[in-house]
Structure 1
Amino acid sequence: MTSTINYDEKIPNNVGLSSDRRLQRALEGWQPKFMNWWSEMGPTLEAHDVYLRTAVAVGRAGWAHFDHVKPDEYRWGIFLAERDSDRRIAFGEHKGEPVWQQVPGEYRADLQRLIVIQGDTEPASVEQQRHLGLTAPSLYDLRNLFQVNVEEGRHLWAMVYLLHAYFGKEGREQAEDLLLRNSGNPDSPRILGAFNEETADWLAFYMFTYFTDRDGKYQLGTLKESAFDPLSRTCEFMLKEEAHHMFVGTTGVDRVVMRSAQLIREHDTLEIGPHGGVPLDVIQKYINFHYSVSLDLFGSETSTNAANYYTAGLKGRWQETRRDDDHRLTEDSAFLARPRADGTWVTEELSALVTLNLDLRGEYLADCRTGVRRWNRILEEAGISYRFALPHPGFNRSVGVHGGFAITPDGEIIDERVWRHLEHKWLPTSSDLAFVRSLMQPVHEPGKIASWVAPPINGINGKPFDYEYVHLA
């Protein structure tokens, strides 16, 4: 494996694909099916070319090249971070042993399952976002949408490579299935619930790339710790690309809040809907929805599967090697707040091994709070007293200890009928969604932007905001 990427081959890669003719033929056989999926389920808006970054190396510096590329000619490929020949397993019962270059037989099914679930999320987000180009608020935003989409497509390639290279016939079949499931399809939906939700407007897109892609960051971070070295190196490079997706979400919400604050000050009212802005309470409802749906992606707070994955060395903790403990956790404990039917909370002390999902969710929650602080700082600097907040982790949950309970954003356990009566205050209503969608008028002229969102402070790769990032077909 090299740090540079070979674009002379039909499938760009830095894994020496041409040296394994059987694998090369199999992936070249999958490639037309991928292109057919992209044609049918990828971006609806046709563009002649888009100013995209393309990975040219896997090192820390100078790894990407920017240029205008036709979206259907983007060179999807297989890129792994460089191998550390001295790397050792950092956790679990195999701690200290050399990492695995092949799949141990006893862990084959579990590793395959982890790769399939991760792989299934990548094309799902493309499918969820396929119509957004039709209502892009600027060419800058349209370019970012295409960039996110082509890289999610490449992340699918990354998982498909692992399935083909290490899991034989079953892996090839699972790779086929990744293209057969579709987001929101009633007969063959995506595996995880959040990836079957509709992303019908750009505020939802910004929230998705902030909250749901941030979940992806933490899931990839746990897989980067894996004792299965090809998976670890694959996820390490994916994290490099994923950072831009979260940037799109963070700065996207920044810009919506900024524009709403401008309109509030200009018209001296929080009721800015009639003036073409997104009211702050509607933004809060979007935060509540996307945050709570994304929390479900972490799974149940207690999980024997997570414990087994950790003990086996398949999936570690976020920044495992920086943790100050024995990295086995057999004697460690954690505390879980559990709702009770009488409307009270009880705190239980449990094994740290079975609460690994809770540990990961805690890292995610702390990260999400940084965004809320950013958005509140914008309001504070504008002299506006309104403040955003993350809802209680039990709010609007379908998975884990909170599933089946009616919990308010403040963490109060209430009757289901009362919750339904108050739900319109906390989650986007049909009229909220219809209003936001009414603002989604496309702006495809260089240097122009829709009235509900502020322009970015900086352009892409040193280019100005009015650069022609996309040439439409």
Structure 2
Amino acid sequence: MTTERAPVGTAPAPVGPLSKIDYSQRIPNNVNLSEDRRLQRALESWQPQFLDWWQTLGPQLPTKDVYLRTAIAVGRDGWAHFDHVPMQEYRWGIFLAPRDLDRRIGFGRHKGDPVWQEVPGQHRAELMRLITVQGDTEPASVEQQRALGRTAPSLYDLRNLFQVNVEEGRHLWAMVYLLHAYFGRDGRNEAEQLLRRHSGDRNTPRILGAFNQATTDWLQFFMFTYFTDRDGKYQLGTLKESAFDPLARTCAFMLKEEAHHMFVGASGVQRTVQRTAELMAAHGSVDLFQYGGIPLDVIQKYLNAQFSVSMDLFGSEQSTNAAAYYTGGLKGRWQEDRRDDDHMLRAAKYPMRTVRGGAIVEDTVPYLTALNLDLRDEYVADCRNGVHRWNQALAAVGLDERLVLPHEGFNRTIGTYAGHWISPTGEVLTSEEWHRKAEAWLPTDEDRERVAKLMVPHYQPGDFAGWIAPPKVGINGQPVEFDYVHLDDEASLEDQACGVRR
């Protein structure tokens, strides 16, 4: 075990406000930071770097305040308080779910032992890597989405974007806390690097490929929050099982906020498909750009692209690292306690699809090395449920067209399908065949340009862009027409000069 002991707590250490850092009170907290002055000073030293990053690479659109949900405690009555808050004064915090004093390790060779409150020396590097990779995704998505406020289809959607942004910022704080509290100087160095890498930067890109892609428009944002944030849900779910208790408790709380991100994506795509279906039925046409809507085939292309990129985030189907994480107790399976097996998996097998002899075949491989695939299969089944709900909007107006998830091997660059050319329906093609048909499967530059032309912001309460249907209900019991975001004078004057609808 390491000798450096971190504070244990059950509630938040809010960080902020941004513009008025009160160092006399230090960082308000209930994680016993006052008992660890070294940690307190380290977080205070990191905070100005975070604030500089937020103001430089956070949301571009200037606002007076936003109707945000702010967590102030981990209990049912404390983690979700709503009010108009200036974005620059949002109070990030450090949250851990309440500690279970009787919690035991649920899997691997340490199964049945008490969970760890300190970092075992033999697992220090692996745990720090897991925390760093998770932490790197949080600011990356904020950077990817920073310009979207300029083209928001409504104040309702603008508010949802900003809610996602501030919660990703809070998740970054959660991972930085763990790095500072449990990994000494190495952890502090990693925490600084989280703000030095930037999405899409040629020299210092983000660690995972999906977080270096540009978010070109709101349809892609909705697909990102549905598919890519859903990957986040499953990754956090495996870390929630970790024998390292502070990490498990941190991820348990993060999952509460991740649910909202996926709601934004699921409902955003649903409303886009609904509007598309309405326009198709009204005009008897699939070419909807001329009517101010997004054609269904373009929505399908966006779906194909984001799903395939998100599938790569699970890594290779067979992984000795995943086996080592599981055996060592660092990272479990999704809903580990609901699995009906020995939670050791030493002799267990798992089916894996691969390409051999020009066809997709199924092999049986050791379960321990197929844990990435096990998690990905859970994810795919979850994604199918959402696509089924989206298709109900098409059926509701009597249309026969349907959206579909592409085959798991489509457009893959990592794992057993990498280097093979798989169609969305699962056919193994030659490179020439695949590239000849790719424009029908993935968004082209022309597709993105035509979608971008529809992205005209609507900043009047209750006003919505013509390519998306309004939601049925508002946020936190408020009406859909509620004034969710107050823009500042700079944004208002700039938008008026550009002819933006207000």
Q: Same fold (TM over 0.5)?
A: yes
Is it true that 1:442 corresponds to 2:474 in the alignment?
Answer: no
Q: Distance in 1 between the 2:9 and 2:183 partners?
A: 23
- Choose which of 462, 465, 468 in structure 1 pairs with 2:477: 462
* Pairing partner for 1:103 from 115, 119, 127: 119
1:151 is aligned, of 142, 164, 167, to: 167
Pick from 265, 276, 279: which aligns with 1:263? 279
**Alignment length (residue pairs):** 472
Distance 2:30 2:143 in 1: 28
Q: CA deviation at 1:14?
A: 3.2
Encode CA deviations 1:257-279: one digit per residue, 9 max, x unaligned: 01111111111212211000000
Sequence identity percentage: 64
Give the C-alpha shift of residue 63 in structure 1. 2.3
SS in 2 for 1:355: helix
Identify the match of residue 306 of structure 1 among 299, 322, 326.
322
CA contact (8 A) 1:12 1:78 kept: no
Match of 1:217? 233
- Structure 2: which 5+ runs fail to align? 1-7, 15-21, 489-502
CA distance in 1, matches of 2:12, 2:129: 28
The answer (yes or no) to whether the contact 2:26–2:40 under 8 Å persists in 1 is no
Instruction: Please state whether the residue corresponding to 1:94 is helix, strand or coil.
Output: coil
1:5 positional shift = 3.8
2:419 to 368, 386, 404: 404
1:345 positional shift = 2.1
The aligned residue for residue 344 of structure 1 is 359
Structure 1: distance between partners of 2:338 and 2:353? 26
Question: Residues of 2 paired with 1:61 and 1:32: CA distance?
Answer: 30
TM-score, normalization by structure 1: 0.98
Q: Is the 8 A contact 1:284 1:388 kept in 2?
A: yes
Post-superposition CA distance 1:299-339 (Å, at most 9, x none): 00000000000000000000001100000000100011111
**What is the alpha-carbon distance in structure 2 between the residues aligned to residue 219 and residue 59 of structure 1?**
23
In structure 1, distance between residues paired with 2:432 and 2:292 = 34
Given the superposition, is the C-alpha separation of residues 206 and 33 from structure 1 closer, same or farther in structure 2, using an over 3 Å criterion? same
Match of 1:136 in 2: 152
Provide, for residues 234-259 of structure 1, a one-character-per-residue CA deviation record: whole Å limited to 9, x for no partner.
00000011110000000000100011
| Alpha-carbon displacement from aligned partner over 1:200-219 (angstroms, at most 9, x marks no partner) | 10000000000000000000
The reply to whether residue 357 of structure 1 matches residue 372 of structure 2 is yes
* 2:346 corresponds to: 330
CA contact (8 A) 2:106 2:337 kept: yes
Aligned to 2:53: 37
The unaligned stretches of length 5 or more in structure 1 are: none
**Which residue pairs with 1:293 in the alignment?**
309
In structure 2, the residue matched to 1:23 is: 39
> What value does the CA root-mean-square deviation take over the aligned residues?
1.1
When normalised by structure 2's length, the TM-score is 0.93
- How far, CA to CA, are the matches of 2:131 and 2:202 in structure 1? 23
Partner of 2:390: 375
- 1:118 paired to 2:113: no
1:182 is the counterpart of 2:198: yes
Contact 1:160 1:175 in 2 (8 A): yes
Q: Deviations over 1:376-404 (max 9, x none)?
A: 11111111100110000000000000000
Q: Which amino acid aligns with 2:341?
A: D
Q: Shift in Å at residue 57 of structure 1?
A: 1.4
1:422-466 CA-to-partner distances (Å, cap 9, x unmatched) read 000000011100011010000011110111000111110000111
For residues 143 and 165 of structure 2, what CA distance do their matches in structure 1 show?
9
How far apart are the structure 2 equivalents of 1:6 and 1:44? 27
Partner of 1:472: 487
